[in-house]
């Protein structure tokens, strides 16, 4: 093999490795399944003395504890599992009121058709809005006391 041929071969291998690395990087940034955005908006009254406290998590991801002021959002995005078994649950509390709910469940993914699940805790309960529900629909009442 000539020296010039070896250099060309080496350059082709380097270019191929760069292309493969770029493709791999793009694949890790893109979803192989559907991607979803979940938003929890604090819809409590403006004069509310207590913030909305929340904790959301899945089997693989703990999104931490958060306190939202009125009209503040907590948002996260994710790719649905290849096994279509993604489940995110949230516990929310406001003063003595609390509620736990499934913010996203692959079994009910049609609720979030189009990739957006919008939850809004209000003074009388927890509301949901998605493409199937063009208006906020009350899904849960508050429970009182402590779990």
pLDDT band at 147 (very low <50, low <70, confident <90, very high): low
Same structural domain, 90 and 56: yes
Task: Name which of 3-12, 83-92, 98-107 the model is least confident about.
Answer: 3-12
Same structural domain, 134 and 106: yes
d(CA 83, CA 80): 8
The CATH number that applies at residue 42 is 2.60.40
Residue 26 predicted with pLDDT over 70: no
**Mean pLDDT of the chain, nearest integer:** 83
Same structural domain, 77 and 112: yes
145: CB partners within 8 A, 6+ apart: 96, 98
Mean pLDDT along residues 2-6: 58
Same structural domain, 113 and 82: yes
Under 8 Å between Cβ of 36 and 78: yes
Residue 111 predicted with pLDDT over 70: yes
- ∠45-49-51 over CA atoms, to 5°? 80
pLDDT number for residue 5: 53
Same structural domain, 74 and 133: yes
Structural domain of residue 17, as residue ranges? 1-30
Q: Pseudo-torsion of CA 63, 134, 115, 112, nearest 10°?
A: 70
Q: Domain tally for the chain? A: 2
pLDDT band at 11 (very low <50, low <70, confident <90, very high): very low
Same structural domain, 62 and 5: no
Same structural domain, 78 and 119: yes
Same structural domain, 123 and 96: yes
The pLDDT tens digits for 122-140 are 999 999 998 777 789 999 9
Same structural domain, 138 and 70: yes
Same structural domain, 7 and 70: no
């Amino acid at each position: 093999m000539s020296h010039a041929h070896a250099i060309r071969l080496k350059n082709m291998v380097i270019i191929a490795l760069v292309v493969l690395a770029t493709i791999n990087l793009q694949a890790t940034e893109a979803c192989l399944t559907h991607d979803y955005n979940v938003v929890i908006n604090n819809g409590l009254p403006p004069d509310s003395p207590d913030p909305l406290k929340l904790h959301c998590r899945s089997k693989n991801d703990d999104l931490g504890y958060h306190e939202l002021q009125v009209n503040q959002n907590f948002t996260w995005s994710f790719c649905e599992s290849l096994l279509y078994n993604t489940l995110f649950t949230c516990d929310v509390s406001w003063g003595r009121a609390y509620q736990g709910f499934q913010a996203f469940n692959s079994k009910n993914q049609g609720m979030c058709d189009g990739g957006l699940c919008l939850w809004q805790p209000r003074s009388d309960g927890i509301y949901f809005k998605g493409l199937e529900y063009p208006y906020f629909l009350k899904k849960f009442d508050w429970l009182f006391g402590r779990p």
